[in-house]
Amino acid sequence: MMDSTHALSISRQAQLVGISRGSVYYVPKSVGGTDLALMRRLDALHLEHPFMGARMLRDQLNREGFPVGRKHVGTLMVRMGMEALYRKPGTSTKHPGHDVYPYLLRSLTINRANQVWALDTTYIPMAKGFVYLTAVVDWASRKVLASTVAITLEACHAVDVLHEASTRHGTPEIVNTDQGSQFTAQEFVHAVKDRGCHLSMDGRGAWRDHVFVERLWKSVKYERVYLHAYDSVIEARQSIMQYMDWYNHSRPHSSLGKQTPAEAYAVMLPTGKLAA
């Protein structure tokens, strides 16, 4: 994709195709084969049993023949951006110094496109490393409004994907996230508030409302990611973006009356609005 002999600089070429310059030169992080196998299995277990914390995951891995301790499982979970989908007192992992915003969706009827957007990030395994996928999903229609594959969990990637979704689809009333450090960072908080949106963050007791995003991750991984061994960030990005387009326009959902997310989004838009 990048041409080092072209008159345009590599930085400019990367900008034109919508990727960071760092992604062009990125070499998958050096991770031992044992840890890569553990992370791959942890990812699959989390998709099947999202309530499992480090202790339960350790016990399951031990039963499967992985001699690993709870602390190491916890370390890998942090590296993967993975957290069990439940809340107990004292389990919040927000970044020190970052503010956490209240959860605004409890008892709220969500039945309009662009009423609530959800942002989330998930770990994506590669042949010799890993990257992160961040997506903006319209809550009511399940349509993926924008997504990006990045090599870090920095807030700038969440800001970029929010900007892309806003540019293409308008502005939601509420943006909902978990309490990950990329979403509690001031850079992201300002990006949400500057658009006139309310920011909502999942808290204790709100995990059930987050399950539909976890279902998206499960679909992406089982129907696309796990069928490939990506050798580069560019390869992973192209493959996942192709899947997202298919997911939006060709994959009907029973919860949407057999409509695709794109069809449901168009129907749920306020009168006079056009779906992109």
User: Can you give the length of the chain in residues?
Assistant: 276
66 neighbors 57 (Cβ within 8 angstroms): no
**Above 70 in pLDDT, residue 276?**
no
More confident residue, 160 or 99: 160
Q: pLDDT band for position 7 (50/70/90)?
A: low
pLDDT tens for each residue of 139-152: 999 999 999 999 98
Q: What integer pLDDT is reported at residue 38 of this predicted model?
A: 92
Residue 107 dihedral angles phi and psi, to the nearest 5°: 70, 10
User: What pLDDT does residue 106 have?
Assistant: 86
55 pLDDT above the threshold of 90:
yes
Architecture of domain 116-268: 2-Layer Sandwich (3.30)
DSSP string, 105-117: -TT----STTSEE
CA dihedral 229, 231, 232, 237 (to 10 degrees): -20
Residues in CB range of 196: below 8 A, 6 or more apart:
171
Residue 1's pLDDT band (cuts 50, 70, 90): very low
Per-domain residue ranges of the chain: 29-84, 116-268
Mean pLDDT of 210-235: 91
User: For position 180, what pLDDT does the model report?
Assistant: 87
More confident residue, 128 or 171: 171
pLDDT for 181 equals 87
Query: Looking at 16-25, 57-66, 258-267, which range is the least confident one?
Result: 16-25
Exposed, middle or buried by CB within 10 Å (0-12, 13-18, 19+), for 172? buried
Which percentage of the chain shows pLDDT scores above 70?
79
Q: Give the pLDDT confidence of 72-109 residue by residue, as tens digits.
A: 999 999 888 888 876 443 333 455 556 788 989 988 99
pTM: 0.78
Cβ-contact 10, 234 below 8 angstroms: no
Task: Give yes or no for residue 252 having a pLDDT over 60.
Answer: yes
